[in-house]
Structure formats: C-alpha cells, structure tokens
Amino acid sequence: MLKIAIIGCIVSLALALLLTPLVKKFAIKIGAVDVPNARKVHTRIMPRLGGLAIYLAFMLSVFAVLPFVADHFSIRDTNFIKAFLIGGSLIVLTGALDDRFELSAKVKLLGQIIAACVVVFGFDIKVDFVNIPFNDSYSSLENWIAIPLTIFWIVGVTNAINLIDGLDGLAAGVSGIAIGTILVMSLLMGNLTVALICLLLLGAIIGFLFYNFHPAQIFMGDTGSLFLGFCLAMLSMLGFKQIAIVSFITPLIIIGVPLSDTFFAIVRRWIQKKPIFAPDKGHLHHCLREIGFSHRQSVLIVYGIAAFFGVLAVIQSSAAMYEANWVTFVVICVMMFFLQIGAEVIGLVGKTKRPILDLVARLRMKVGEERGSKL
C-alpha cells in the first residue's frame, strides 16, 4: 500500500503541474482575481482560485489509487475518507465562491460550519476521547462535548490557515510541512490510510508551489487556504484518536504556526480594541517584512518555524509511545518560551507589549546599577 501511495504522490504532483496553468487561465476568464490594496503585499492584479488545482489534483489521484488500496481499508477508514472528500468539496465550493464573488465573513463561516456538520453528523467523525497529558488513562467525551468540540476544531483550524495566507507560497508551504509531520507520525503509528492521504496532498501542494512560490504566478485564494485548513483539521484529529500513543497537545503542536499567529492576532486586536475578525498587517509574515526581511526570506523563516514545530510534535508523540511524560512537559515549555520571546521580538502583539524582554532589561539595569554602586 505504501508503494502505491508513493506512486499516487507522484501522480498528484504531475496533475498539479498540469492543472495549475489551466486554473490560472480559468480564474482570469471568470474574473477571480486579487486586486492590490493597502493591506496586501503584491502590487499587481493576480489570478486566485489556485487552490482549485490542489483540490482537483488531490481528488483525481485519490480516485486513481482507490481501486488498488480499497481492500486495505476498514469500515472506519472508508467513513473517514468519505467524510474527508465530501466535507473538503463543500469547503472548496465555499472558497471558490468567495474567490469570485467575495462572500461576507458570515456566509463563509456558515459554509465551514455546514462542512463540519456533514463530517460529524453524516459520518460520525468526532473527537470522542482524549489522552490527557501526564496521565496513562484516557477520558471519554459525551456527545454534548464531543460534537461542538469537533466542529469548533474543524472551523478554527480551517480559518487559521486562511489567516496566514499573506505571502507567496506561505500557506501552501506551512500546510505542506504540517502534513509532512502528520505523515511521519502516521508511518510511526502504522496508520497507512492517513499516510496515503498525506502523500497525495503533499504531491498536489508541491506541484502547486512551482507556480505559487515567490514570485507567484497565481494565488491559492480562499479555495486553497480553506481546503488545506480543512485537511489539516481532519488529519490532525489523528492525534485525538491514538489513545495510547499521543496526547491531547500533539495536534496543537503540529499546526503551531497558524494557531499561534491566530492567537496573537486575537490578543492584539483585543488590546487595540478592534473587532476580532478585523484584518490588519500585524501577522507574523507582516512583522518579518517590517523588520527588514525580504519576501522570500520571510517565507523561508516561517517555513523554518513550522519545521521546528513539526520536529517538536514528532519528538513529543514518539516519547508518548514510551510514556515519557516528562518529554511532553519539556516540549510544551520550550514551545511556549520560543513563542513568547519570538512574538515580543518581532512585535506580534504590539511594539510596546514586551513583558519578558522588558523584565530582562530591568534586571540587567538593576545588576548594572548594583555593580556601579560597589565600584
């Protein structure tokens, strides 16, 4: 099955390479274009809807490999794949309509909720138990908790990827790194179904990046960012399903870059007394550009951060296999420390909101004064 999955990945990559130029022409023809404004980095009109190429390459490769691997699927695997494909299709429809007609935030949110409800109620895919960190037992969740938690997770992660889609190749690359992390974990756990989906998605993303990396020829638009966000939400729920292998924290680490950027955006807007969904230029990639990094350098730095989170997730989940809970504690502490310091250095919350750096500066000043008084 793994050999077929690798062949499927190559097929998916080739399809994305072939389909993206066609989607670009289609986007221009129907007027699905991105016009520059004060918030955006690009300076010329660009075709969007590029996510449609990722979606089509993925779907076609899925149907190409399914006849060769269907016998390996359990009933639960089949259910998961159906939910993945149908829910993903609804998300792509929502994103495509937004790329063409610029839907309101409420309408887009409604489309995402509908897709999440199809997954939960149509196929009974939900977070029904979790492995609590530092505890060998697991906790079952009642439906009144599991259902809204799953819908919130899917919608939240879907939007988190959408928020970081601000530079050429950024959202696609970060999503690809997170999916690659899940691929490694699924292989370690022996979950070949998830590995298959990850490989097919990776092929489509890599093929699309040939046209989307700076300088981009086409944007993925909401079609791509929402679809990849949905895919990550679904695949990262793997972390909730492996009771004895990974803890509740693992999925959060896997998608640490988009989730942390979203968290800091909410805090920043709350401090500045702005609406939570109000757009601004305070995201991670904007801050990196502002302090002097080039477009390409900013993207590569965020890739590096995403890879760092991926390594932490693999270390944490591998340690959890052997019930080394102290590793989980260390990983969480390292992650929180670097998140806070990084946010303060580049000004994710605000240029004046730097509690830890200000504390260090005051301590250094105090030490300097004490040394001066002794002299």
Average pLDDT, the chain: 82
Neighbours of 245 (CB within 10 A): 19
Q: Is the pLDDT of residue 99 over 70?
A: yes
> Does residue 47 sit in helix, strand or coil?
strand
Most confident of 75-89, 136-150, 228-242: 75-89
Residue 246 binned pLDDT confidence (cut-offs 50, 70, 90): very low
Q: Is the pLDDT of residue 134 over 70?
A: no
Q: Is the pLDDT of residue 242 over 50?
A: no
Q: Is the pLDDT of residue 225 over 90?
A: yes
Helix ranges restricted to H, the chain:
2-30, 51-69, 75-101, 105-117, 123, 143-163, 170-189, 192-212, 221-236, 238-241, 250-254, 256-271, 284-290, 295-321, 325-346, 355-374
pLDDT value of position 77: 85
The range of the structural domain enclosing residue 321 comes to 2-374
Give the CA dihedral 352, 356, 357, 363, nearest 10 degrees.
Answer: 120
For the chain, give the percent of residues with pLDDT over 70: 79
Distance CA 294, CA 228 (A): 25
Distance CA 370, CA 137 (A): 52
Between 6-10, 39-43, 76-80, 222-226, the lowest mean confidence (pLDDT) is in: 39-43
Q: Is the pLDDT of residue 203 over 50?
A: yes
Q: Is the pLDDT of residue 18 over 60?
A: yes
HSE (side-chain half, CA atoms, 13 Å) at 10: 5
Q: Is the pLDDT of residue 120 over 80?
A: yes
Distance CA 336, CA 197 (A): 30
Distance CA 337, CA 335 (A): 6
Identify which of 282, 150, 144, 296 has the alpha carbon closest to the alpha carbon of residue 212.
296
- Say if residues 258 and 173 touch (Cβ distance below 8 Å): no
Q: What is the mean pLDDT of residues 227-243?
A: 77
Distance CA 226, CA 181 (A): 19
Between 216-230, 297-311, 322-336, the lowest mean confidence (pLDDT) is in: 322-336
Q: What is the mean pLDDT of residues 117-139?
A: 71
- Say if residues 254 and 181 touch (Cβ distance below 8 Å): yes
DSSP per residue, 81-125: HHHHHHHHHHHHHHHHHHHHH---HHHHHHHHHHHHHIIIIIH--
Identify which of 261, 264, 355 has the alpha carbon closest to the alpha carbon of residue 301.
261
Q: Is the pLDDT of residue 141 over 80?
A: no
User: Omega before 215 cis (within 30°)?
Assistant: yes
pLDDT value of position 289: 77
pLDDT value of position 192: 86
Task: Return all residues near 327 (Cβ < 8 A) that are at least 6 apart.
Answer: 315, 316, 319, 320
pLDDT value of position 130: 57
pLDDT digits (tens, 9 = 90+) for 304-332: 989 988 888 888 777 655 555 666 677 77
Distance CA 161, CA 284 (A): 13
The count of domains in the chain is 1
Residue 110 binned pLDDT confidence (cut-offs 50, 70, 90): very high
pLDDT digits (tens, 9 = 90+) for 77-98: 888 899 999 999 999 999 999 9
pLDDT value of position 140: 64
